Structure 1
Amino acid sequence: MSVPDHLAIAKSFAAAPERWPVTPRFDPVERWYHHLAVADDYEVWVLTWLPGQQTEIHDHGGSAGAFHVFSGTLNEDTIATGGPGGPRVTSRDLGEGAGRRFGAHHIHRIVNRGTDPAISIHVYGPALTRMTKYRLAPEGLEVLTVERAGAEW
């Protein structure tokens, strides 16, 4: 059985916004998100980001995936653990049309540090069942919460 190319799926959804079941909205209080599709081995979400909106540092509960920036610019802070000196944070800007794949053990935060709203398409395989949220502490990553699909989102 082959593993789907999550980034290719995200790009295909980005290429056809007229087929999305909803029109993206922007919420000044919190990020807006909506399920676009669910298949046997992946799911697709659309997220919107006003300037300053961000996720907490989190993982995807063992799911791999990808995200594609449909419009605007997002910044991803990737957290690497296990090396000397505690966690390392690497930042990268991803502009419209950019995307990236990530593995099942990826820990990151996504931020709209720009001045314009952004929209992104996210694909996870298998579908998300949980996400762990963390905070950076002097001794490493500390677990804040473990959220379950269907309960917290």
Structure 2
Amino acid sequence: MPDLSTPARPRTAPLTGGPSAAELFSFVRRTAADTPLVASLPLDPEGRTWLRLDGPDGSEAWLIGWPPGTGTGWHDHGGSRGAFAAAAGALTEDSLTVQLPTEGWTSLELTDGVDRTHTLTDGRGRAFGPHHVHQVRNVSPATHAISVHAYHPPLPLMRRYRRTGALLRLEEVERPEDWG
């Protein structure tokens, strides 16, 4: 198994063109502060809801509603850089502090100390590069959360992982046509 105590080198060329992660972060924070837009999102008590937004410079953007107790599971963004911010309620992000390769593996054993957890509220958020693996959850038992997300380039795919202790396994690769 690869040594994950130091960041892996990217297997793909660096992303060029389009908005930077910092520009995406600025966009999601501004959009999260747009109270009428956030209030316009229909909320479902059972499942996540979403609204496609016009992101900056060809990026993909979404306003997403999270019922209590819902989450994404572990995933990456197919090599896209991105950002997200809480617009209402609170979200918890669990992420890894090491840069994982985006391709060429199906199972990795993670070393101690690579996990980070962030609680995001009130316009707080995160920007990330193309090798970011995380899960996002609404841990509240009673309150919806709403967030804004942006990615560049628009998501070519998402890889879904299963995490069992220190073991991270690739479970599925989803493509935009799978998202209906």
State the TM bucket, normalised to the shorter chain. Answer: 0.7 to 0.9
Residues 8-87 of structure 1 correspond to what in structure 2 (within 5 A)? 8-18=26-36, 23-38=40-55, 40-80=57-97, 85=111
Residue 109 (structure 2) pairs with residue 92 (structure 1): no
Q: CA offsets, 1:99-120, max 9 Å, x none?
A: 1101100000001112321100
CA positional deviation for 1:80:
4.2
Distance 1:140 1:84 in 2: 6
1:128 aligns with 155
SS of the residue aligned with 1:150?
helix
Larger Rg: 2
Distance 1:40 1:150 in 2: 22
TM-score when normalising by structure 2: 0.74
Give yes or no for contact 1:86–1:140 (8 Å, CA) kept in 2: no
Distance 2:52 2:159 in 1: 20
- Structure with the higher strand share, 1 or 2: 1
Distance 2:166 2:36 in 1: 47
Gaps of 5+ in 1: none
Aligned residues: 152
CA positional deviation for 1:15:
3.1
- What amino acid is aligned across from residue 100 of structure 1 in structure 2? R
Distance 1:64 1:2 in 2: 10
Give yes or no for contact 2:110–2:168 (8 Å, CA) kept in 1: no
- What amino acid is aligned across from residue 131 of structure 1 in structure 2? M
RMSD: 2.5
Distance 2:74 2:31 in 1: 26
Distance 1:71 1:12 in 2: 13
Match of 1:110 among 136, 140, 146: 136
